[in-house]
Amino acid sequence: MCRRSGLEQKRRCGWLGVDAGGSGRPVWGRKHVVTDRCPTSYITAESQMLIEEFLVLRRLGARSLDGLTARQVDAFVILESELAIEVRDGQHNNRQNL
């Protein structure tokens, strides 16, 4: 998407390397995380696969750890924790807006 739109320089995509002309200005931020480069270029195929597996297992209600690797379990624990924070914060923000 960025390449087709010519935004890779402006957003300082990570795959451009260190000499991407970064100005130090934030390109992306969420809560306590800010980066001066587009984070999308750092997401690996394995990370994407773990996120998709996590969502499928949640959707199916699978709670058994049988057959999962340690890496999968670790990723799923982190994703579950981050999802709980997002849900909690979303509910908190909704209460404030009422």
Closest C-alpha among 87, 7, 80, 74 to residue 46 = 74
Read off the DSSP letter of residue 40.
G
Nearest-5° Cα angle at 49, 43 to 5? 40
From first to last of its 98 residues, the chain has per-residue pLDDT tens of: 555 666 655 566 655 555 545 566 777 777 777 777 777 766 788 999 999 999 999 898 877 778 899 999 999 999 999 899 888 888 655 555 44
pTM exceeding 0.95: no
Q: How far apart are the first and last CA of the chain?
A: 37
